[in-house]
Each structure stands twice: as C-alpha cells, then as structure tokens.
C-alpha cells in the first residue's frame, strides 16, 4: 500500500511543531519506472491521512513525467547549518561581492544557525522562519536587519530547491509582513550643514563630513579613498574602489570594487574643500613618523594607519549631532542632503547624479524627478569635470563661505 500508518512517541502538528504527545503519522511509499529501471520514492511523518493521500497523488503525477527525479532523502535530511555553510563556501565565495558575502556570513552565523540551524531541510517550514523573525523583532533588532536575514534565507533556500534538495522554498510562504522603514528624516539644508561642519573640531572628521555631506559619497567609498587617487595638481580625486566590510589590517592595497560601474567617477576639489584635504594629508604625514604605522595609503584612517569601520563612523557621527543639537539623521542621510541641496541650488539633477555616482533612474527617484529623462540624457551625453565643478562650487560656497561673508559685513 502506498500510504501506511505508524505510531510515533512525539507527533508534530500541521505546522511541523512537536506536540509532546504520542500519535499516528503516515508514510508515502511509491515505486515508479524510469529509463534506469524501477526506483522508489518515500516521504515519512505526514501529520494526517488526508495530507498523505494528497501528497501521494501529486507525486504520482510528477513522477510519471519523463526525467522526473524526487528529492534525494540524504539531501533532504541535511541540517540547515551544514547546508548554509557549504553554500557559502561554494556559491558565496565564487559569486558574491566581498561586502555581500560578509553580510550573508554575518546573518548566517549570528542569526540563523543559532536559532534554526539544527532543523533539517525537509523539516524546515515557513512557520520556523516566521518564529525566527518574531524572535529577532522581540530582541529589538531593526526591521532592515530582519529583512536582510530573510533575503539571505530566501536566496540560499531557492538554490536548495533548484538543486532538488527540497521541493518547496519555505521562505516564499512566510506570513510575516515587514514594516516599512520609518519616514526618512528631512535632509540638512545648507545652514545645518554649515553648523555641522563648523562645529566639528577634529580635522579628520571635518574631511569625513565634507566627503559625505558636500560630495555625497557613500560611507564605504569614503573609507576606501586612497591618496594615490587624490590629484592636488589637477584639483580632482577619483572614486574607484571601496573598503570591504571586514578589511584586513596591515595589508597594503586593501580594496574592493565598487558595486556598479556607474559609481566610478572623478570629482573636483573645490577651493572650499581643498584645505580639508591638505590638513588631513599634513596630519597623516605626522602619524607616519610613529612606530608601527600601517602604510595602507588610506585618506581616512586611524592614527596608526589602520582602517576605520563603518559602524564606528556611524556611532561617532551620532555623538557629534547630540553635541551640536542637530536633528538626528543617519550618516548616509548626508548623501541625501548633498543631493537635495545641489539640486535646489542648480536644478541640474543629471549632473548631481553623476557627482553622486547614481544611476539616472536612481537619482530621479531620490529627487522626485520622473519625466523627461530621455530628453535630459540626450542633452547631457557627457557630464565633464567642469560642469561638476560648477555644481559643487555653488553648493560648497553656500555652506563654507557664507560665514566669511557674514563676518565681513559685521
């Protein structure tokens, strides 16, 4: 008989949760013919006879098709922790960018394996994932963190489905509805940017805020900027690489490629920002005289030359906002502030997109510009450094030079 009953000491309910009580479960056993001969298919421990009969009917139809192959039992019984570890070592290392790989690795080690790593692939259910996300939320983790964990599981389990380790991807069936991100705070205007920049005493931090708030650079782009890409004679600098999430200290040439090719760009050093670059270079030259200095060629680094972490930058940035009594924003919101201010001062959203290393569609969404993109593309076939300088100078003068003008008028 294809469906058989047996008694178990601890039965699971329809959601796959242990009930702690004795009960009856049903096993499905099917023999089917292939070009290689007669083979067997088995699925054990189905909660009800109705579900077992339904599964039997579905599998008979599926196995009757040429080339059909059921999920091998040995693969289905693999623990999630073992599968994810192997998946990272094979697919992850060969196909993911360094930052994405490190993000997936952190999610798997810190959030997934400790909670559900001991569940087999065949027993993993959408309920298990929903319970995981509920627990993470109860621990106070941010919604974006939980969504990233779900994305990691979704990708890994989809690959398991394609490899025929499981029949369905449980990440597709979750009931959890992630709350939308809270409203993005208003970007800083030029006055607030001036207050921030003038209120920071540390020269190194002045340059960090300048790169983030006056140029709209991403945090990892700032931390990955090197002196070999700063050209004082041409008054420009190149953004061509970023710092990996887990950069190795003491390794020269540490770098990772930018995520998108359109993020590679050359930007002008304006008269307003040149002092910040030169002050930082002067400080670096003093630090290099110290014993044990790590020559990583980084523009932004610790006094010993080792790289700063993104989390450190974000944490210290919040301290400055509190001291200066400025509205709370994320460090990344400096990028939004730069985009908004440059656009309001010049109306040239395409040049702003080129300065930020943003795609045409991306900068259009960010600034609320949706129509006429094709016409603008035809008009600005190439945004040259001179046009970028005009846009940046107008913004930088509004932030840096206004105070000088006010002092002259007193």
The predicted pLDDT at position 375 comes to 46
* Element (DSSP H or E) covering residue 24: strand 23-34
Instruction: Return phi, psi of residue 45, to 5°.
Output: 80, 30
Return the ∠ at Cα 327 (arms to 321 and 329), rounded to 5°: 75
| Beta-bridge partners for 40 | 31
The predicted pLDDT at position 69 comes to 56
- Classify each residue of 393-410 as buried b or exposed e, where b means 16 or more C-beta atoms within 10 Å of its C-beta: bebbbbbbeeeeeeeeee
pLDDT in tens, 277-302: 999 999 999 999 999 899 899 999 99
The predicted pLDDT at position 362 comes to 52
Report DSSP letters for 124-189, one per residue: --HHHHHHHHHHHHHTT--HHHHHHHHHHHHHHHHHHHHTTS-SS-GGGG----PPPPPPPPPPP-
Distances (CA, A) of 114 to 102, 108, 136, 221: 17, 9, 12, 33
Q: Cβ atoms within 10 A of the Cβ of 21, count?
A: 10
The predicted pLDDT at position 127 comes to 92
CA dihedral 78, 80, 82, 88 (to 10 degrees): 130
CATH of 80-173, one of 2.40.50.100, 3.40.640.10, 3.40.50.970, 1.10.150.130: 1.10.150.130
User: Ramachandran region of residue 390, left (φ > 0), alpha (ψ -120 to 50) or beta?
Assistant: alpha
pTM (two decimals): 0.61
Using CB atoms within 10 Å of the CB of residue 376, give its burial: 0 to 12 exposed, 13 to 18 middle, 19+ buried.
middle
190-409: CATH topology is: hpI Integrase; Chain A (1.10.443)
Strands of 224-327, DSSP E: 230-231, 236-239, 241-242, 256-257, 265-268
The predicted pLDDT at position 406 comes to 45
Residues of the chain with pLDDT under 70: 1, 12-19, 35-36, 65-76, 180-183, 245-255, 259, 359-383, 401-410
- 8 A C-beta contact, residue 116 and residue 125: no
Helix 310-323 to helix 190-199 angle (10° resolution) is 100
Q: Please report, for the chain, the start and end positions of each structural domain, with discontinuous segments joined by +.
A: 3-70, 80-173, 190-409
Nearest residue to 106 via CA among 152, 60, 69, 142: 152
Nearest residue to 220 via CA among 89, 103, 340: 103
| The two structure tokens encoding residue 377 | 């593309």
The predicted pLDDT at position 67 comes to 55
| Beta-bridge partners for 231 | 236
Cα-atom radius of gyration of the chain, to the nearest Å?
28
Question: Do 80-173 and 190-409 show the same overall fold?
Answer: no
Dist CA 94 CA 119 (whole Å): 26
- 8 A C-beta contact, residue 266 and residue 238: yes
Helix 349-356 to helix 360-367 angle (10° resolution) is 120
pLDDT in tens, 49-72: 888 888 888 877 777 765 555 555
Strands of 228-269, DSSP E: 230-231, 236-239, 241-242, 256-257, 265-268
Distances (CA, A) of 33 to 63, 65, 71, 93, 106: 8, 10, 16, 39, 45
């Amino acid at each position: 008989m294809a469906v058989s009953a047996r008694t178990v000491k601890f039965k699971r309910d329809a959601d796959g949760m242990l009930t702690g009580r004795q009960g009856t479960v049903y096993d499905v056993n099917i023999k089917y013919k292939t070009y290689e001969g007669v083979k067997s298919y088995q699925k054990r421990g189905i909660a009800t006879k109705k579900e077992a009969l339904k599964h039997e009917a579905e599998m008979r139809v599926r196995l009757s098709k040429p080339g059909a192959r059921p999920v091998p039992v040995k693969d289905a019984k693999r623990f999630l922790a073992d599968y994810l570890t192997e998946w990272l070592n094979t697919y992850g290392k060969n196909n993911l960018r360094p930052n994405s790989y490190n993000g997936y690795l952190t999610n798997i080690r810190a959030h997934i394996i400790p909670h559900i790593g001991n569940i087999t692939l065949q027993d993993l259910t959408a309920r298990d994932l929903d319970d995981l996300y509920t627990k993470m939320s109860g621990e106070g983790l941010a919604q974006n963190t939980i969504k990233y964990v779900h994305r990691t599981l979704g990708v890994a389990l989809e690959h398991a489905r394609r490899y025929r380790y499981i029949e369905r991807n449980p990440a597709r069936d979750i009931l959890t509805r992630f709350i939308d991100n809270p409203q993005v705070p208003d970007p800083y205007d030029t006055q607030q940017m001036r207050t921030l920049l003038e209120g920071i005493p540390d020269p190194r931090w002045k340059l960090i805020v300048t790169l983030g708030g006056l140029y709209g650079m991403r945090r990892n782009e700032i931390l990955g900027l090197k002196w070999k890409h700063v050209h004082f004679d041409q008054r420009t600098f190149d953004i061509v690489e970023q710092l990996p999430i887990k950069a190795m200290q003491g390794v020269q040439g540490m770098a990772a490629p930018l995520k998108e090719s359109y993020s590679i760009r050359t930007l002008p050093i304006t008269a307003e920002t040149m002092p910040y670059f030169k002050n930082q270079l002067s400080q670096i030259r003093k630090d290099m005289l110290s014993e044990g200095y790590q020559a990583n060629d980084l523009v932004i680094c610790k006094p010993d030359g080792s790289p700063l972490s993104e989390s450190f930058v974000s944490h210290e940035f919040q301290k400055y906002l509190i001291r200066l009594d400025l509205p709370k924003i994320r460090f990344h919101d400096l990028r939004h502030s730069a985009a908004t201010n440059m656009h309001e001062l010049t109306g040239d959203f395409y040049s702003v997109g080129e300065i930020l290393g943003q795609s045409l569609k991306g900068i259009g969404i960010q600034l609320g510009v949706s129509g006429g993109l094709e016409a603008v593309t035809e008009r600005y076939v190439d945004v040259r450094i001179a046009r970028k300088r005009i846009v940046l100078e107008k913004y930088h003068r509004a932030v840096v030079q206004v105070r000088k003008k006010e002092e002259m008028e007193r």
